[in-house]
Amino acid sequence: MSLQPADTHPALLGSLLPPSGVPLLNFSPGPTSLAAEVQAGIKALFDAQRMCSMYLSHRSPEFLDILTNTVQRCRMAMDIPQQYEILFMHGGGHGQFAAVPLNLCPHGDEKATYLVNGTWSKRALSEASKYCRPIVVSSESVAGTFTHNPSFENLDPESKYVYLCSNETVNGIELHHLPKLSIKAPLVIDASSDFSTKPIDWVGCNVGVLYACASKNIGHPGVTLCVIRRDLLGTPSKLCPGVLCYTTNAREGNLWNTIATFNVEVVNIYMQWMIAQGGVHEMERRSIAKSAMLYDLIDKSEGFYSTPISDPSIRSRMNIPFDVAGGDEETTRNFLVQAWERGIVGLRTLTPFGVGKYLRASLYNGVSVQQTEGLVAFMADFLKTYRTQ
């Protein structure tokens, strides 16, 4: 199929709707697809005899049962200790960029260390600078790129907390295990893109706050799961709005204002599915298997495909950036069009950061091993065809 003029082909505009009748393989960076069983569970909500949570009062006993079950299943699935509150909050990850310092730095001039290893931790730092005094430890190069993590050594012991993003979706960098720091400050973790994909050592790694917007691995947009250690509650800034206040929302049992009822039930369905699949350890096994397939193809392509992260120990299992033919524009366009025609979408989506050299394959829990095999097979075929032309 020939390309349409300029970038008007749907595949080049980030379309997620392939030709009619073609099975969909969605590798979007988020929001993204849910597992088929989770989607079936959501559809069943509308066929059930009870009132659907989409229009169920958040203070009704029926919804309170859903909320209680969701909290319990989250705690079970991720082995969250009892000394942590589980909240469902509004505002996504961006809301938490402000919520963290507003809750943990009551005076606004406290030190907080920010470990910057990519786009999202850098953006979190920018927002936090309004509400605390950040100490920045960054791995950004002079050219503005990120290819490794900053040092975890010699951190400021006066920090109220140490902030990090455990998986940088844009840059393809992941912490497969949380660090155990030498200072006593609690860890604050943006786990929006890797929560539920690997176990967390909550106590051993001194996790104070962990948050994850739902739209990548635990549900769909509109709710953010926040896990807060209880000893960090009680001293928010006077400027902290109630909708972002951990203390207020914990005290009110997640019901200070109208909670996102339907979104919470979707998280419940997701956690049921995850537990039935074998839990977080099975999710991690699949993540390792899926990402290994794709990285293996890239590494053995003799440079036709390449990824900016050379160190296997920090390569993201969730988001794999790669280029085609060294970033050649025409070859990349042909790649995207042919992928779209096969139902493979989401490798290039519109973002606030524009369109760079690299495409991205996102392998969240909703992407199966079989779907990943489909992507790898296409990329291998495309490479073979390119070399025989």
Length of the chain: 389
pLDDT above 90: percentage of residues in the chain: 90
Decide: 172 and 307 in contact? Cβ < 8 Å: yes
The rounded mean pLDDT for the chain is 95
Q: What are residue 316's phi and psi, to 5 degrees?
A: -70, 135
pLDDT attached to residue 193: 97
d(CA 330, CA 363) in angstroms, rounded, equals 26
Dihedral, CA of residue 368, residue 371, residue 373 and residue 375, to nearest 10: -130
Based on the residue annotation, tell me whether 190 is a catalytic residue of this protein.
yes
Q: For residue 350, is pLDDT > 90?
A: no
Q: Say which range, 83-87, 105-109, 347-351, has the weakest mean pLDDT.
A: 347-351
Q: Domain 41-276 falls in which CATH fold?
A: Aspartate Aminotransferase; domain 2 (3.40.640)
pLDDT above 70: percentage of residues in the chain: 97
Q: For residue 4, name the pLDDT band (cuts at 50, 70, 90).
A: very low
How many C-beta atoms surround the C-beta of residue 226 within 10 A?
A: 25
Catalytic residue, chosen from 160, 190, 323, 340, is 190
d(CA 279, CA 273) in angstroms, rounded, equals 9
Q: For residue 11, name the pLDDT band (cuts at 50, 70, 90).
A: very high
Beta bridge partners of 306: 323
Domain boundaries, the chain: 10-30+279-388, 41-276
Q: For residue 102, is pLDDT > 50?
A: yes
Based on the residue annotation, tell me whether 290 is a catalytic residue of this protein.
no
| Average of per-residue pLDDT across 124-145 | 97
How many C-beta atoms surround the C-beta of residue 142 within 10 A?
A: 5
Q: What is the pLDDT of residues 295-337, one digit of tens each?
A: 999 999 999 999 999 999 999 999 999 999 999 999 999 999 9
Based on the residue annotation, tell me whether 299 is a catalytic residue of this protein.
no
Q: For residue 268, is pLDDT > 70?
A: yes
Q: Say which range, 12-26, 97-111, 194-208, 284-298, has the weakest mean pLDDT.
A: 12-26
pLDDT attached to residue 353: 65
Q: For residue 1, is pLDDT > 50?
A: no
**Longest Cα–Cα distance in the chain:** 67
Q: What is the pLDDT of residues 221-256, one digit of tens each?
A: 999 999 999 999 999 999 999 999 999 999 999 999
Catalytic residue, chosen from 202, 216, 290, 340, is 216
Q: For residue 6, name the pLDDT band (cuts at 50, 70, 90).
A: low
Q: What are residue 224's phi and psi, to 5 degrees?
A: -125, 125
CATH number of 10-30+279-388: 3.90.1150.10
pLDDT attached to residue 354: 67
d(CA 88, CA 214) in angstroms, rounded, equals 10
Q: What is the pLDDT of residues 169-186, one digit of tens each?
A: 999 999 999 999 999 999
